[in-house]
C-alpha cells in the first residue's frame, strides 16, 4: 500500500484552494526574437524558473517582419528585441527605438580583439557570436584527408564532391557568410572567388545541409558554425573548419524605448548577459559562443573560444557595412550566381580545363586569354565604391522591396556580355 | 508511387495464431536477436528520435526532411512578409512550434518550480452540470476555455492565462523496506483571461510524448488489436483492455483509436492535424475551424476562414511522423537485461506491454520486409487506477483509463544523461517511479515489482532501459 506523507484531506483542500483562487498575477514581458525554438525555449525556461514573478511571451518575427513590428510607435507593445539581425538593430537604433543599456564593461567587453560587437552608444549589446566556415564529413569524403583551411579550398576543381552553397536571398545567415569573404578578399576578388566556388556548388535553399555532408553527397557546406557543431554534438559525423580570414558575428539584445515592463525587461536582459545565461550558449542544442570571457569553462577548446582565436586568422569585420549591404549582397548573389548558375559552371569548368592544359603545355598568349576569361567570369557589376556607398545601399532595402529593376537589367546585361567574351576567349579550349 | 504489395494469403489465420501465442505467453518474447530489426535505426546520439526509417527512397526522404523542418518551424502570426508560407499562428495557441514541446521529437520537460508549464498542455472537460460528451461522443469542451488551455494569444486577443504546477509528494515502500519518493502534479492557473475555472471540472495535464515508430503502430491491423483484447478477457485476469472507438474526421465515421494517451485519435494524420489546430492554432483541411470557445469573441473575429496549413505541408509532417524510426535495442546480451526480460514476463508487465505486434498488409509507410515489430504495447485502454486518473473521459476511455504506452526508446533519455519524465503528465522522474505509479489493472504487476529484491528490480529496469 502507498504510504502517503500528506493526508488526502489536506491535499484536497489545497487543490480546491488553487482552483478557486487563481494564483498571483505575473508581470508579462514581450520578447521579439527569431531564435530557433530550441534556443528561445531554453532561455525562457531557465529565466522563468529563476524569476517566477515574470512571464516571458515570445513573439517570433524574422527580419522584415520584426522591423515593421518594432518600427510602430509603441513597438508593438514589445519590451525586448533579441535576435541575430545585423541590419535591424542599427536601423531601429537610428529610429530611436532603443533605450541605452547600463553595461558592466569589466565583464562584457563588447569586443573580441579589435572587433567591436556592441553598439558604441550602448543602445544594443552583443549577446553571442557565431562563426562561419566549412562543414565536412570526416567519415565520408574527408576520411584520411587534411581538413580544409581556406575559403579558396571550396573553389578547388579537385574537391571530392560538390560544395553546398546557401542561397543568399533565402537563407538568413548567407549574406553575412558571403560578406565575410567579400571583406576578407576585397569586393571584386571576393565576388570572383564566390563565382568560382559556385562552379563546384549545389545551391541550397536549406539552412541545415548537414545530412548531405554526413552522407557523402557533398564535400563541403558553407555555413554558420552552430549548425554543424550542433549536429556533431547530437551524434552526427560532421566536422567543421574555421578557414583563415573568417569572422565571428554577433547577435544582439536591446530594450525597447518605452517598454511596458522596463524592470522585468531589464531583468531578462541582465539574465541573458549574466555568466549563467551566457553559459547556456554552450548547451548542445545552442552551440553559440558567449560574449563574456568568463563564461568559457576551462574545458572549452581554444578554437571554440573566439577570445583565444589568433588575430592573424580572424578578420576584423565591418559590422555596420555588413548589416547595411545584406540586401545588396543577396540581390547580387541572385543575379550574378543563382540566375545563371548553369552557365557559370560551364564557364569555370572550361577555365579550369584550359589552365590544366596550359600547365602541362605552357603558352604565354593562350595563358593571357585564359587569365582574361578568368577575370570576366568573376566580374561583378557593382563597384567596390558603390558597395560602400550608403545612398546606393539604401536602394536595396528589402524592407521596402525597392531593388531598382532598371539597374538589375543593366547588371544582367553586363554579366551576359562579360561571360560571352569569356567564352570567346576560351574558344580554342572548347570541348571537341 | 510505391507499387502495391500483393496481399498475403491466410492473413487473418496468422494474426489470430500470433495473438493466441501472445495470450499463452510463448510468443511474447520480444526482439532478442543480436542484429537490430530492419525498422529500427542503428544511429546513436541525442537526435535518435528524429531518425527516418532506414532505406527511404530519395523522394520520400526529401518529404521526410520537409516534414522535419516544418515540425521545427516557428510559425508566425499573419500577415508575414518574411515567411508567408508559415503564417497563421493563433489566435490562441500553446507554442510556436511542435519541437518546442516534443524536444528533439521526444518528451517535454515539466517545470520543477513555479515557472509556467510551457511544454505541457492542459485539457478541460465541461462543468459537471453540463453534457459531458459532444455530438461525436468525444469530450465536450469547457464553455469558456474550450477543450484545451491556450496560454498564448496573438495581439488583440486575450490569452487564456498561465498554468503552473504544484507538486504533491508521497512515499512508496518496497517490501524490503526501501522507500521511494513520488510526486504528483496539480495545476494552478494564473491571470485567467475568460473568468474563473470551476474546481470541479475535469483537468487533464499532458506532457509531450516521443513521436517514434508511429507509422509502424498505425500499420498494426485492427483485427489483431481486437484479438489481444479478447485474449486478455479469456485469460480471466485483472487485465482486460479494450480499444477506444473515436470519430474519424476524414472518413466521417467511428473508428478504432490508437494514437494519443487515451487512444483518442484514429490515425497519425488526424493526430498531427489536431495538434496543429489545438497547440498552434493552425487550421487544416482536417480541422478547418479554430478552437475558439463561443465566448471568445476576439478569437472568433480573428479566426482564419481557410486552412492555414496547406495539404502539402500537412502531408509532409504526417509522413515525417510515420517514417520516424524506432530506436534499436541496446545491451541485449547483458545478463541483467536477459534476466529482466524474464521478470518482465513473469510478473505480468507483458500482459499489457505486448512485446510483439504484426504489421498488416496495408501499412501506410515505407515498408520494412520484417513483419513483426516490438513496441511493447497492446494499443488498448486499461484502467490504471485512481493514482493516475485524470477524471476526463475521452470517447470510450474512462477518466482512469489510458492506452498502454509503447516502451521502445524508453531508456534513451537516461543514456543521454537527460532529465527523465515519464507517464502522461511527466510526474515520474525515473522508470522505477513510473512502475510504482501503476495501479488498477496493473496493480498486481506493480505489487509483484515491489516484492522483488533489489537486484531483481534493477534487472527488470535494465531490461526496460534496453528497449
pLDDT score for A405: 83
- On whether any CB of chain A is under 8 Å from the CB of B74, the answer is yes
What the block records as the C-alpha cell of A144 is 584520411
Residues of B in contact with A43 (CB under 8 A): none
Measured distance CA(B202)–CA(B195) in Å, rounded: 16
Q: What is the per-residue pLDDT for B363?
A: 66
Q: Which residues in chain A have their CB less than 8 angstroms from residue B76's CB?
A: 60-62, 65
Q: How many CB atoms lie within 10 A of CB A122?
A: 16
Q: Could A22 and B47 be called an inter-chain contact, meaning their C-beta atoms sit closer than 8 Å?
A: no
Query: How many Å lie between the alpha carbon of A79 and the closest alpha carbon of chain B?
Result: 14
Beta-sheet pairing, B244-248 with B203-207: unpaired
Strands B162-173 and B179-190: antiparallel
| Average pLDDT score, chain A | 91
Residue B367 has pLDDT above 70, yes or no: no
Distance CA A326, CA A349 (A): 29
Chain A residues closer than 8 Å to B119 by CB: 41
Q: Flag if B111 and A49 touch (Cβ within 8 Å).
A: yes
Rounded to whole angstroms, the Cα distance separating B401 from B398 reads 5
pLDDT digits (tens, 9 = 90+) for A120-166: 999 999 999 999 999 999 988 898 889 999 999 999 999 999 999 99
Q: Is the peptide bond before B91 cis (omega within 30 degrees of 0)?
A: yes
Interface test with A, best of B199, B320, B389, B390 (most A CBs within 10 A): B199
pLDDT tens-place string over residues A365-386: 999 999 999 999 999 999 999 9
Q: Quick check: bond before B79 cis, omega within 30?
A: yes
Q: Do B48 and A235 touch (CB under 8 A)?
A: yes
In sequence order, what are the beta bridge partners of B168? Answer: B184
A392 touches chain B (CB under 8 A): no
Query: What pLDDT, on the 0 to 100 scale, is given for residue A310?
Result: 83
Q: Which residues contact A360 (CB under 8 A, 6 or more apart)?
A: none
Residues of A in contact with B111 (CB under 8 A): 45, 49
Please report the pLDDT score of residue B97 as a whole number. Answer: 96
Using pLDDT thresholds of 50, 70 and 90, give the confidence band for residue B32.
low
- From B79, B86, B22, B110, select the one nearest B353 (Cα to Cα): B22
Distance, in angstroms, between A64 CA and closest chain B CA? 6
Nearest to A72 by CA among A256, A265, A326: A256
Segment among A207-216, A341-350, B171-180 with least mean pLDDT: A207-216
For residues B277-299, give the mean pLDDT: 97
**pLDDT score, position A399:** 56
Helices and strands (DSSP H and E) totals, chain B? 12, 14
- Candidates A179, A172, A343; CA nearest to A335 is A343
- List Cβ<8 Å contacts ≥24 apart for A152-160: A152/A193, A153/A220, A153/A243, A154/A197, A154/A200, A154/A220, A154/A222, A155/A193, A155/A196, A155/A197, A155/A199, A155/A200, A156/A200, A157/A199, A157/A200, A157/A349, A157/A352, A159/A200, A159/A219, A159/A220, A160/A219
Question: Given A49, A60, A233, which is nearest B76 (Cβ)?
Answer: A60
Residue of A nearest to B113 (CA): A49
Residues 6+ apart with CB under 8 A from B141: B124, B126, B134, B147, B293
Spatial separation of the C-alpha atoms in residues B398 and B242, rounded to whole Å: 11
Task: Tell me the average pLDDT across B371-392.
Answer: 96
For residue B168, which residues of chain A lie inside 8 Å, CB to CB? Answer: 6, 11, 14
Rounded to 5°, the CA angle B89-B91-B93 comes to: 65
Q: Decide: B88 and B75 in contact? Cβ < 8 Å.
A: yes
Is B199 in Cβ contact with A15 (below 8 Å)? Answer: yes
pLDDT more than 70, % of chain A: 93
Interatomic CA distance for residues B25 and B42, integer angstroms: 29
Is the preceding omega at residue B187 within 30 degrees of 0, hence cis?
no
Burial class (CB within 10 angstroms; exposed 0-12, middle 13-18, buried 19+) of B94? buried
Answer whether B197 sits within 8 Å of A19, measured CB to CB. yes
Answer yes or no: are the C-beta atoms of B441 and B185 closer than 8 Å: no
Could you give the angle at which helices A174-185 and A326-333 cross, rounded to 10 degrees? 90
Helix (H, G, I), strand (E, B) or coil at B366: coil
Closest CA to B349 of B455, B456, B260: B456
The C-alpha atoms of residue B277 and residue A37 are separated, in whole angstroms, by: 19
Residue B119 has pLDDT above 80, yes or no: yes
Look at B198 and A6 and tell me if their CB atoms are within 8 Å: no
B4: closest CA of chain A, how far (Å): 29
Residue of A5, A14, A236 with shortest CB distance to B170: A5
> Would you call A189 an interface residue with chain B, using a CB distance cutoff of 8 Å?
no
A163 near A218, Cβ under 8 Å?
yes
User: In A, which residues are within 8 Å of B161 by CB distance?
Assistant: 22
ω into A431 cis (within 30 of 0)? no
The answer to which of A6-15, A171-180, A292-301, B244-253 has the lowest mean pLDDT is A6-15
For residue B49, the distance in angstroms to the closest alpha carbon of chain A comes to 11
Do the bridges between strand A80-83 and strand A27-33 make them parallel or antiparallel, or are there none, so unpaired?
Answer: parallel
**B310 phi-psi bin (left φ>0, alpha ψ -120 to 50, beta other):** beta
Nearest CA in chain A to B185: A15
Judged against a pLDDT cut of 60, whether residue B13 lies above it is answered with: no
Query: What is the mean predicted confidence (pLDDT) over B216-223?
Result: 95
Subunit contact B43:A15, Cβ cutoff 8 A: no
**Is residue B152 a contact partner of residue A57, using CB atoms and an 8 Å limit?**
yes
- The secondary structure of residue A155, as a DSSP letter, is G
> Is B18 a residue whose pLDDT tops 50?
no
Instruction: Indicate if the alpha-carbon torsion angle B342, B346, B349, B352 is positive or negative.
Output: positive
Q: Of A377-381, A405-409, B14-18, give the range with the top mean pLDDT.
A: A377-381
Over 60: is that where the pLDDT of A215 sits? Answer: yes
pLDDT confidence of residue A121:
96
Size of interface A-B (CB pairs under 8 A): 134
Q: Give me the pLDDT at residue B29, please.
A: 47
Dump pLDDT digits (tens) for A244-278.
999 999 999 999 999 999 999 999 999 999 999 99
CA distance A334 to A405: 13
- For residue B270, pLDDT beyond 90: yes
> Quick one: cell of A376?
570576366
Q: Choose among A23, A64, A208: nearest Cβ to B81.
A: A64
Q: Pick from A5, A62, A236: which is nearest to B171 by CB?
A: A5
Cβ–Cβ contacts within 10 Å for residue B245, how many?
17
Q: Please, which residues have CB within 8 angstroms of residue B353's CB and are 6 or more apart in sequence? A: B344, B376, B377, B378, B404, B407
* Cβ–Cβ contact B116 with A under 8 A: yes
Q: Is the dihedral of CA A154, A156, A157, A158 positive or negative?
A: negative
Q: How confident is residue B341, by pLDDT bands cut at 50, 70 and 90?
A: very high
Q: Can you tell me whether residue B3 is helix, strand or coil?
A: coil
B187–chain A Cβ distance below 8 A for any pair: yes
Q: What is the mean pLDDT of residues A4-23?
A: 45
Residue B344 cell numbers, joined: 518482465
What mean pLDDT do residues A428-432 have? Answer: 73
Rounded CA separation A170/B412 (Å): 36
Residues on chain B touching A76 (C-beta within 8 angstroms): 155
Contact A11, B168 (CB under 8 A): yes
- Tell me whether residues B45 and A234 touch, CB distance under 8 A: yes
The pLDDT tens digits of the residues spanning A234-246 come to: 889 999 999 999 9
Q: Is A349 exposed, middle or buried (0-12, 13-18, 19+ CB in 10 A)?
A: middle
Helices of type H across A172-216: 174-185, 187-198, 210-214
In B33-52, the residues whose Cβ lies within 8 Å of chain A are: 43-48
- In a mutational test of the B interface, the residue from A8, A16, A24, A26 whose CB has the highest number of chain B CBs within 10 Å is A26
Q: Using CB atoms and an 8 Å cut-off, which of residues 154-173 of chain B contact chain A?
A: 155, 161-162, 164, 166, 168-173
Closest chain A residue to B164 measured between Cα atoms?
A: A23
Q: What are the helix (H) ranges across A234-280?
A: 262-273, 275-280
Using a CB-CB cut-off of 8 Å, the residues of chain A touching B198 are: 19
Question: Phi, psi at residue B272, to the nearest 5°?
Answer: -65, -45
How far apart CA B99 and CA B89 sit, in angstroms, is 15
What is the pLDDT confidence band of residue B237, given thresholds at 50, 70 and 90?
Answer: confident
The SS3 assignment for A132 reads strand
From A11's Cα to the closest Cα of chain B, the distance in A is 8
Q: What does the block give as the cell for A401?
A: 522591396
The pLDDT of residue A403 = 64
Taking CB atoms and an 8 Å cutoff, what residues of chain B touch A59? 77
Q: Alpha-carbon distance B102 to B407, whole Å?
A: 17
Smallest Cβ–Cβ distance between B97 and the set A28, A37, A68 belongs to A37
**What span, in angstroms and rounded, lies between the C-alpha atoms of B282 and B304?**
9
Look up residue B326 and give its DSSP letter: E
B333 vs B321: CA distance, rounded Å: 30
Interface membership of A68 toward B (CB under 8 Å): yes
Taking CA atoms, what residue in A is nearest to B186?
A15
Whether residues B97 and A285 touch (CB distance < 8 A) is answered with no
Q: Cβ separation of A52 and B191 shorter than 8 Å?
A: no
Asked whether the CA dihedral B454, B460, B466, B467 is positive or negative, the reply is negative
- Per-residue model confidence as pLDDT tens digits over B156-207: 999 999 999 999 999 999 999 999 999 999 999 999 999 999 988 999 999 9
**Does B290 contact chain A (CB < 8 Å)?**
no
Q: What is the rounded average pLDDT for all residues in chain B?
A: 90
Interface probe, candidates B69, B75, B82, chain A, greatest A C-beta count within 10 A: B82
Supply B119's cell numbers: 511544454
User: What does the pLDDT read at residue B34?
Assistant: 56
Q: Is the Cβ of B127 closer than 8 Å to some Cβ of chain A?
A: no
DSSP class of B394: B
Strand partners, B275: none
Q: In degrees rounded to 5, what are phi and psi of residue A60? A: -95, 115
User: Contact B82/A22, CB-based, under 8 Å?
Assistant: no
Provide φ and ψ at B143, rounded to 5°: -65, -30
Q: What ipTM did this prediction achieve?
A: 0.85
pLDDT at B247 over 70: yes
Residues B101, B264: Cα–Cα separation, whole Å: 20
A170 touches chain B (CB under 8 A): no
Is the minimum CB–CB distance between A7 and chain B shorter than 8 Å?
no
B11 has a chain A CB within 8 A of its CB: no
A48, A60, A62 member nearest B116 (Cβ):
A48
> Is the torsion defined by CA of A384, A390, A393, A395 positive or negative?
negative
Per-residue pLDDT at A23: 53
- Is A285 in Cβ contact with B104 (below 8 Å)? yes
E strands along A226-332, which residues?
A: 239-241, 248-256, 289-290
Contact state of B188 with A22 under an 8 Å Cβ cutoff? yes
B417 against A13, higher pLDDT: B417
Residue closest to A103 by CA, chosen among A84, A85, A127: A127
Residue B162 pLDDT: 94
A111: its cell numbers: 569586443
CB contact A11 to B (< 8 Å)? yes
Q: What is the rounded CA–CA span in Å between residue B367 and residue B9?
A: 18
What's the rounded mean pLDDT across residues B143-163?
Answer: 95
Amino acid at each position: 500500500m502507498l504510504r502517503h506523507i500528506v493526508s488526502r484531506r489536506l491535499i484536497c483542500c489545497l487543490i480546491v484552494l488553487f482552483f478557486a483562487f487563481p494564483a498571483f498575477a505575473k508581470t508579462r514581458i514581450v520578447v521579439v526574437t527569431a531564435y530557433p525554438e530550441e534556443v528561445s525555449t531554453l532561455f525562457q525556461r531557465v529565466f522563468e524558473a529563476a524569476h517566477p514573478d515574470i512571464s516571458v511571451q515570445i513573439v517570433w518575427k524574422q527580419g522584415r517582419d520584426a522591423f515593421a513590428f518594432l518600427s510602430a510607435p509603441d513597438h508593438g507593445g514589445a519590451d525586448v528585441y533579441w535576435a541575430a539581425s545585423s541590419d535591424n538593430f542599427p536601423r531601429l537604433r537610428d529610429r530611436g527605438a532603443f533605450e541605452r543599456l547600463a553595461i558592466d564593461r569589466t565583464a562584457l567587453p563588447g569586443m573580441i580583439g579589435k572587433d567591436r560587437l556592441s553598439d558604441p552608444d550602448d543602445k544594443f549589446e552583443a549577446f553571442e557570436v557565431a562563426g562561419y566556415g566549412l562543414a565536412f564529413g570526416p567519415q565520408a569524403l574527408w576520411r584520411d584527408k587534411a581538413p580544409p583551411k581556406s575559403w579558396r579550398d571550396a573553389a578547388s576543381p579537385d574537391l571530392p564532391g560538390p560544395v553546398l552553397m546557401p542561397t543568399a536571398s533565402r537563407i538568413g545567415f548567407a549574406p553575412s557568410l558571403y560578406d565575410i569573404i567579400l571583406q576578407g578578399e576585397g569586393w571584386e576578388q571576393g565576388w570572383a572567388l564566390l563565382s568560382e566556388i559556385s562552379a563546384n556548388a549545389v545551391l541550397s535553399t536549406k539552412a541545415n545541409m548537414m545530412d548531405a555532408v554526413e552522407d557523402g553527397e557533398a564535400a563541403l557546406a558553407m555555413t554558420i558554425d552552430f549548425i554543424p557543431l550542433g549536429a556533431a554534438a547530437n551524434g552526427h559525423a560532421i566536422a567543421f573548419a574555421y578557414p583563415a580570414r573568417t569572422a565571428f558575428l554577433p547577435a544582439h539584445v536591446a530594450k525597447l524605448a518605452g517598454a511596458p515592463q522596463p524592470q522585468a525587461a531589464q531583468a531578462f536582459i541582465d539574465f541573458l548577459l549574466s555568466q549563467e545565461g551566457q553559459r547556456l550558449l554552450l548547451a548542445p542544442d545552442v552551440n553559440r559562443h558567449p560574449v563574456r570571457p568568463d563564461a568559457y569553462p576551462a574545458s572549452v577548446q581554444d578554437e571554440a573560444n573566439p577570445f583565444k582565436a589568433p588575430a592573424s586568422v580572424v578578420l576584423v569585420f565591418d559590422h555596420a557595412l555588413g548589416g547595411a549591404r545584406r540586401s545588396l549582397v543577396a540581390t547580387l548573389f541572385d543575379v550574378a550566381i543563382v540566375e545563371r548558375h548553369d552557365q557559370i559552371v560551364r564557364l569555370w569548368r572550361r577555365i579550369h580545363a584550359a589552365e590544366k592544359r596550359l600547365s602541362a603545355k605552357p603558352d604565354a598568349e593562350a595563358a593571357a586569354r585564359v587569365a582574361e576569361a578568368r577575370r570576366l567570369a568573376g566580374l561583378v557589376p557593382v563597384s567596390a565604391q558603390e558597395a560602400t556607398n550608403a545612398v546606393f545601399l539604401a536602394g536595396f532595402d528589402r524592407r521596402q522591396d525597392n531593388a531598382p529593376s532598371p539597374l538589375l537589367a543593366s547588371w544582367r546585361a553586363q554579366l551576359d556580355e562579360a561571360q560571352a567574351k569569356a567564352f570567346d576567349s576560351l574558344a580554342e579550349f572548347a570541348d571537341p | 508511387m510505391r507499387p502495391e504489395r500483393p496481399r498475403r494469403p491466410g492473413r487473418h489465420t496468422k494474426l489470430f495464431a500470433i495473438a493466441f501465442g501472445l495470450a499463452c505467453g510463448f510468443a511474447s518474447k520480444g526482439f532478442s536477436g543480436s542484429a537490430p530489426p530492419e525498422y529500427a535505426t542503428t544511429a546513436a546520439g541525442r537526435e535518435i528520435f528524429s531518425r527516418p526509417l532506414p532505406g527511404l527512397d530519395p523522394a520520400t526522404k526529401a518529404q521526410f526532411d520537409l516534414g522535419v523542418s516544418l515540425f521545427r518551424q516557428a510559425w508566425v502570426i499573419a500577415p508575414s512578409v518574411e515567411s508567408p508560407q508559415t503564417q497563421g499562428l493563433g489566435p490562441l495557441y500553446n507554442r510556436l512550434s511542435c519541437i518546442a514541446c516534443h524536444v528533439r521529437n521526444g518528451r517535454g520537460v515539466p517545470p520543477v518550480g513555479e515557472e509556467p508549464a510551457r511544454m505541457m498542455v492542459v485539457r478541460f472537460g465541461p462543468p459537471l452540470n453540463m453534457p459531458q460528451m459532444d455530438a461525436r461522443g468525444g469530450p465536450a469542451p469547457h464553455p469558456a476555455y474550450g477543450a484545451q488551455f491556450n496560454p498564448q494569444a496573438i495581439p488583440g486577443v486575450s490569452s487564456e492565462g498561465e498554468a503552473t504546477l504544484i507538486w504533491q509528494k508521497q512515499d512508496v515502500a518496497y517490501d524490503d523496506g526501501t522507500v521511494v519518493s513520488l510526486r504528483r502534479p496539480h495545476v494552478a492557473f494564473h491571470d485567467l483571461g475568460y473568468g474563473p475555472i470551476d474546481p470541479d471540472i475535469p483537468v487533464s495535464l499532458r506532457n509531450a510524448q516521443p513521436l517514434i515508430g508511429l507509422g509502424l503502430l498505425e500499420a498494426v491491423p485492427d483485427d489483431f488489436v481486437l484479438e489481444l483484447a479478447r485474449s486478455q478477457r479469456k485469460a480471466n485476469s485483472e487485465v482486460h483492455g479494450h480499444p477506444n472507438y473515436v470519430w474519424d474526421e476524414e472518413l466521417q465515421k467511428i473508428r478504432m483509436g490508437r494514437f494519443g494517451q487515451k487512444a483518442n485519435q484514429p490515425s497519425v494524420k488526424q493526430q498531427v492535424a489536431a495538434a496543429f489546430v489545438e497547440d498552434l492554432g493552425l487550421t487544416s483541411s482536417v480541422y478547418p475551424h479554430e478552437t475558439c470557445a463561443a465566448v471568445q469573441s476576439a478569437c472568433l473575429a480573428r479566426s482564419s476562414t481557410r486552412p492555414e496549413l496547406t495539404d502539402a505541408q500537412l502531408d509532409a509532417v504526417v509522413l515525417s511522423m510515420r517514417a520516424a524510426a524506432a530506436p534499436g535495442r541496446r545491451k541485449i546480451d547483458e545478463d541483467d537485461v536477459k534476466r529482466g526480460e524474464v521478470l518482465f514476463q513473469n510478473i505480468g508487465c507483458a500482459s499489457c506491454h505486448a512485446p510483439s505486434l504484426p504489421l498488416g498488409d496495408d501499412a501506410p509507410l515505407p515498408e520494412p520486409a520484417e513483419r513483426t515489430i516490438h513496441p511493447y504495447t497492446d494499443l488498448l485502454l486499461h484502467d490504471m487506477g485512481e493514482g493516475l486518473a485524470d477524471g476526463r473521459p475521452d470517447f470510450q476511455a474512462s477518466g482512469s483509463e489510458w492506452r498502454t504506452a509503447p516502451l521502445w526508446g524508453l531508456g534513451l533519455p537516461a543514456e543521454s544523461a537527460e532529465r527523465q519524465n515519464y507517464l502522461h503528465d511527466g510526474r515520474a522522474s525515473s522508470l522505477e517511479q513510473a512502475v510504482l505509479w501503476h495501479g488498477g489493472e496493473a496493480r498486481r504487476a506493480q505489487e509483484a515489482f515491489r516484492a522483488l529484491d533489489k537486484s531483481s528490480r534493477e534487472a527488470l529496469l535494465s531490461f526496460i532501459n534496453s528497449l
